[in-house]
Amino acid sequence: MKRHLISAADLSRDDALLILDTADELAKISDRSIKKLPTLRGRTVVNLFFEDSTRTRISFEAAAKRLSADVINFSAKGSSVSKGESLKDTALTLEAMGADAVVIRHSASGAPHRLAGWVRGSVVNAGDGTHEHPTQALLDAFTMRRRLGPLDGRRVTIVGDVLHSRVARSNVLLLSTLGAEVTLVAPPTLLPVNVGSWPCEVSYDLDAMLPKSDVVMMLRVQRERMNAAFFPTEREYSRRYGLDRDRVARMHDDAIVMHPGPMNRGMEIAAEVADSPRSTIVEQVANGVTTRMAVLYLLLGGADLGGEIRQ
Ligand code: CP
């Protein structure tokens, strides 16, 4: 594996399978009363969040703590960033504290790549602008594999605001590496101009895709990133691209519904669908901890896992 995890494209098929297999091993300790392993004792993980997060920030913290790493949580709000301190100076300050890994979320696409040039430790991209969110794609693949088995030939339909979604880009890259067939469904206004070069198909017809899909992944409509009118009304968007009970009835019996969160209930996904047995949304959050444990363990070269899990 490379030293950093900036993009899902950094992962070969063997790398991705190693992370998912390691997460499978680590999931075994999640059922124990004591969930902690000593494998990263003495290592320091810095969580550097310049943008809001609930799931990713908490799960990276839980993952590092379950591996016995020391954790420093940095939030831009309330820090010297508000006095104008740059990303580079912030990074060098954290470097001086001995970070072995820096987990970064930033509103600027490319910030993790820049950071990787300034620090000695491993950099993990926890979401950069509209670019990538590779550990979300890993936890999504882990969730799909647990529900459906190997991903080769599985048909995954990703629906909604692809234009502003770092989750969609990372999922397309990772799922194609793992042999899945991905189709993006969105209004033309919410597709990136270069989507033709992505390793996936594109459709504008959600109803036609539903019976063919093993996975339907709904994306959040990211109104906070929209500086123009991308669709006529929210009601019209829901009518064309929202997942409701009637649409779910067109999916095959074993197909699953995913959403990375946070959700706009009632817009891209109906509440009754989000809370239904087909939905893996809560599982995705739990799987985020084990998948991020696997990433930190492999990047930081933790002690032998087999021995520790058997103890
Ligand atoms: N899925 C995801 O990245 O959620 P958060 O923004 O809450 O971390």
Task: Dump pLDDT digits (tens) for 158-191.
Answer: 999 999 999 999 999 999 999 999 999 999 999 9
How does residue 79 score in pLDDT terms, banded at 50, 70 and 90?
Answer: confident
**pLDDT, greater one: 303 or 141:** 141
For residues 147 and 278, is the Cβ–Cβ distance under 8 A? no
Statement to judge: residues 24 and 107 lie in one domain: yes
CB atoms within 10 A of CB 17: 17
- 1 in a structural domain: no
- Least confident piece of the model among 26-40, 101-115, 177-191, 260-274: 26-40
**What whole-number distance in Å separates Cα of residue 178 and Cα of residue 264?**
29
Number of domains, the chain: 2
- 2 in a structural domain: no
What atom in ligand 1 is closest to the CA of residue 260?
A: 1
Residue 224 has pLDDT above 90, yes or no: no
- 242 in a structural domain: yes
| Angle made by CA atoms 80, 83, 86, in degrees to the nearest 5 | 70
pLDDT at residue 174, as a whole number = 98
* Type of residue at 286: A
- Residue 236 sits in which domain range? 134-280
What atom in ligand 1 is closest to the CA of residue 58?
A: 8
Statement to judge: residues 98 and 210 lie in one domain: no
Pocket test for ligand 1, best of 51, 54, 105, 107 (most atoms within 8 A of CB): 54
Ligand 1 lining (C-beta closer than 6 Å): 53-56, 127, 133, 136, 260-262
Q: Domain containing 109 — which CATH number?
A: 3.40.50.1370
Statement to judge: residues 48 and 151 lie in one domain: no
Q: List binding-site positions.
A: 55-56, 83, 105, 133, 136, 166, 220, 261-262
pLDDT at residue 227, as a whole number = 74
**What whole-number distance in Å separates Cα of residue 270 and Cα of residue 264?**
9
* Type of residue at 50: F
- Least confident piece of the model among 13-22, 51-60, 79-88, 194-203: 79-88
**What whole-number distance in Å separates Cα of residue 14 and Cα of residue 118?**
28
The alpha carbon of 262 and the centre of ligand 1 are apart by a number of angstroms equal to 6
Statement to judge: residues 138 and 274 lie in one domain: yes
Q: How far apart are the first and last CA of the chain?
A: 27
pLDDT at residue 35, as a whole number = 84
Statement to judge: residues 70 and 188 lie in one domain: no
Statement to judge: residues 152 and 101 lie in one domain: no
pTM above 0.85, yes or no: yes
How does residue 309 score in pLDDT terms, banded at 50, 70 and 90?
Answer: low
pLDDT at residue 303, as a whole number = 58
Q: Find, among 140, 199, 174, 180, the residue nearest to 11 by Cα.
A: 174
Statement to judge: residues 177 and 241 lie in one domain: yes
**What whole-number distance in Å separates Cα of residue 128 and Cα of residue 233?**
28
- 3 in a structural domain: no
Counting Cα atoms < 13 Å in the Cβ hemisphere of 35 gives: 12
Burial class of residue 263, CB neighbours in 10 A (0-12, 13-18, 19+): middle
pLDDT at residue 267, as a whole number = 93
Statement to judge: residues 107 and 33 lie in one domain: yes
pLDDT at residue 304, as a whole number = 62
Known catalytic residues? 55-56, 83, 105, 133
Residue 310 has pLDDT above 60, yes or no: no
**What whole-number distance in Å separates Cα of residue 80 and Cα of residue 103?**
18
What atom in ligand 1 is closest to the CA of residue 261?
A: 1
Statement to judge: residues 122 and 224 lie in one domain: no
